[in-house]
Amino acid sequence: METEIETSLMVKGIFKLPLRGLKGFLPSVLTLMSAPLKCPTYTCISKRSNTVGVTYSFPNLGTIVHIVIDVTGLKVYGESEWKTCKQGKEKWRIWRKHHLTVDVSIHEVIVAEVSLVSMGDNEVLPTCLNPLRRRIQQVSVDGAYDTKACYHVLKNQGITPSILPRSKARYEEEGHPRNKSIKALKEDEQTE
């Protein structure tokens, strides 16, 4: 039984699975491998994991070169769009914002946050960056994040901002990263 527990915990560490996910995943892997091991129960793995000396350290994932953060809306409660169009709005609709942080190099969502509609996108930026606990080189976001607070957060973490400025944006003091974006935006408008 010791071997089964150790194997289970190693698979759990390698594939970053929760215990219940492990219980569903491991039997199929053992069957495909024709391994002479039985998959321990969820309770057995949970209780014995503290006594078995298996340690698996995750590899250092290193620096994230470039991330993109964007927001989409989620309807939590409300009628369908078709019903509203045909019969009119009857009940309250409740929406939430879903903030997605994507690593550009691997095309993978690395952080997902949900916030109230009343919160500004710029208020959620720190919570999109904090769970990563890795060095980030560049962040690209849209004009909703074009605030002094966002530039301040990114500067404190040593991150190069790539923030689309608002249409009527004005230049900041000399050397501010926003000035590059405004200059590029104005040059782009002149070429059109």
Residues 44 and 89 in one domain: no
Residues 43 and 70 in one domain: no
Report the CATH number at residue 174: 3.30.420
Residue 59 lies inside a defined structural domain of this protein: no
b/e per residue, 24-38, with b = 16+ CB within 10 A? Answer: ebbeeebeeeeeeee
Residues 25 and 120 in one domain: no
- The proportion of the chain whose per-residue pLDDT surpasses 90, expressed as a percent, equals 12
Residues 33 and 107 in one domain: no
pLDDT tens for residues 32-71? 888 888 888 888 888 887 777 766 554 556 788 899 999 9
For residue 176, the model assigns a pLDDT of 78
Q: What's the CA gap between 30 and 25, in Å, rounded?
A: 9
Q: What's the CA gap between 103 and 100, in Å, rounded?
A: 10
Residues 36 and 109 in one domain: no
Residues 27 and 71 in one domain: no
Q: Which segment of 26-30, 51-55, 167-171, 174-178 scores lowest on mean pLDDT?
A: 51-55
Residues 124 and 179 in one domain: yes
Residues 82 and 163 in one domain: yes
Domain coverage including residue 145: 64-191
pLDDT tens for residues 65-115? 899 999 998 877 666 666 666 666 666 667 889 999 999 988 888 888 988
Q: Are 83 and 51 in contact (CB under 8 A)?
A: no
Give the predicted TM-score (pTM) of the model. Answer: 0.59
Number of domains the chain is built from: 2
Q: Are 98 and 74 in contact (CB under 8 A)?
A: yes
